[in-house]
């Protein structure tokens, strides 16, 4: 197994995170470029296993699918069968929900706290002719209580950001990077039925207690990983804060030839 991946796994194990590594672990393509590609308001999306479609986006406003969204999509699409009840929590521009619909998912629900993102997602879905129930609100609170899900995508913010930090809403998640996932995990534990699965993409900056938030009610499996290289000037004034976290062992970052990178991974959390 790749030594870089093993070092990350050892770091997680050192924090006591209980998880399995998928037998068919996927080595995803490394990302060495801007977080969001291009500045177009409409951009084609190609994901293996489904027809291509067009994303309506606002890159300047931080509303656009990025490499993490596509990694999560590639991991979830093979797990969707016709009739799979699918929720997309923190849907952004709707790429995951639309992809699920094109694979045959049903009873699709997509939620976000950002009304502008939902407006874009509606256009993405309409162009792809995918029926989605959109709801504006916070996490699972926006999903009607009578509805049930088999598979839930939770592409949620998880970057650590101190008070007064300048990260956009779509990225910041409190000083440890855990606030939003911790809230969602608690809601999901109470709301989802046995066997329901949550899929999420995670880079290595948040405190591993984020994964502990799921471990009480879910079985965790790491299904894919890649390196996500930082770009010159990325995070600007936030970088010293992040490097201090790395020194303290609460974030993970490595280097190759002086080029810093994070480990990005897709996780499945199956409700017990």
For residues 188-217, average pLDDT? 97
pLDDT over 90 percentage in the chain: 86
Write down the pLDDT at residue 272: 97
Residue 167 binned pLDDT confidence (cut-offs 50, 70, 90):
confident
Q: Is residue 16 scored above 80 in pLDDT?
A: yes
pLDDT digits (tens, 9 = 90+) for 144-155: 999 999 999 999
Q: Is residue 1 scored above 80 in pLDDT?
A: no
Q: Is residue 25 scored above 80 in pLDDT?
A: yes
Write down the pLDDT at residue 163: 81
pLDDT digits (tens, 9 = 90+) for 76-129: 999 999 999 999 999 999 999 999 999 999 999 999 999 999 999 999 999 999
Write down the pLDDT at residue 235: 80
- The reported pTM is 0.95
Mean pLDDT, the chain, integer: 95
pLDDT over 70 percentage in the chain: 99
pLDDT digits (tens, 9 = 90+) for 27-74: 999 999 987 888 899 999 999 999 999 999 999 888 999 999 999 999
Q: Is residue 236 scored above 80 in pLDDT?
A: no
Write down the pLDDT at residue 107: 96
Write down the pLDDT at residue 87: 98
**DSSP annotation string for the chain:** --HHHHHHHHHHHHTT---EEEEEEEEPPPB-S-SS----SEEEE--TTS--EEEE-BGGGTBS--HHHHHHHHHHGGG--TT-EEEEET-TTSHHHHHHHHHT-EEEEEEES-HHHHHHHHHHHHHHT---EEEESSGGGGS-TT---SEEEE----B---TT----TTTB--TTS-HHHHHHHHHHHHHSPTT-EEEEEE-S-S-THHHHHHHTTEEEEEEEEEEEEPPTTTTGGGHHHHHHHHHHTSS--EEETTEEEEEEEEEEEEE-
Write down the pLDDT at residue 115: 96
Write down the pLDDT at residue 51: 98
For residues 188-215, average pLDDT? 97
């Amino acid at each position: 197994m790749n030594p870089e991946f093993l070092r990350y796994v050892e770091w997680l194990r050192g924090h006591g995170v209980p998880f399995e590594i998928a037998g068919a672990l996927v080595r995803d393509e490394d990302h060495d470029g801007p977080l969001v590609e291009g500045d177009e308001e409409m951009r084609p999306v190609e994901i293996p296993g489904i027809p291509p479609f067009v994303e309506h986006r606002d890159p300047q406003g931080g509303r656009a699918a990025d490499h993490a969204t596509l990694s999560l999509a590639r991991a979830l699409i093979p797990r969707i069968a016709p009739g799979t009840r699918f929720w997309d929590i923190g849907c952004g521009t709707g790429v995951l929900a639309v992809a699920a619909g094109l694979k045959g998912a049903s009873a699709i629900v997509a939620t976000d706290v950002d009304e502008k993102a939902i407006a874009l997602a509606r256009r993405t879905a309409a162009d792809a002719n995918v029926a989605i129930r959109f709801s504006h609100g916070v996490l699972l609170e926006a999903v009607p209580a009578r509805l049930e899900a088999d598979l839930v995508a939770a592409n949620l913010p998880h970057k650590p950001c101190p008070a007064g930090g300048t990260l956009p809403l779509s990225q910041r998640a409190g000083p440890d990077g855990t606030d939003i996932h911790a809230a969602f995990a608690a809601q999901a534990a109470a709301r989802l039925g046995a066997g329901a699965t949550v899929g999420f993409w995670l880079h290595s900056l948040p405190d591993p207690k984020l994964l502990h938030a799921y471990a009480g009610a879910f079985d965790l499996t790491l299904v894919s990983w890649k390196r996500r290289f930082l770009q010159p000037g990325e995070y600007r004034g936030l970088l010293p804060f992040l490097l201090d976290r790395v020194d303290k062992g609460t974030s993970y970052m490595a280097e190759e030839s002086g080029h810093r990178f994070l480990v990005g991974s897709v996780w499945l959390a199956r409700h017990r």
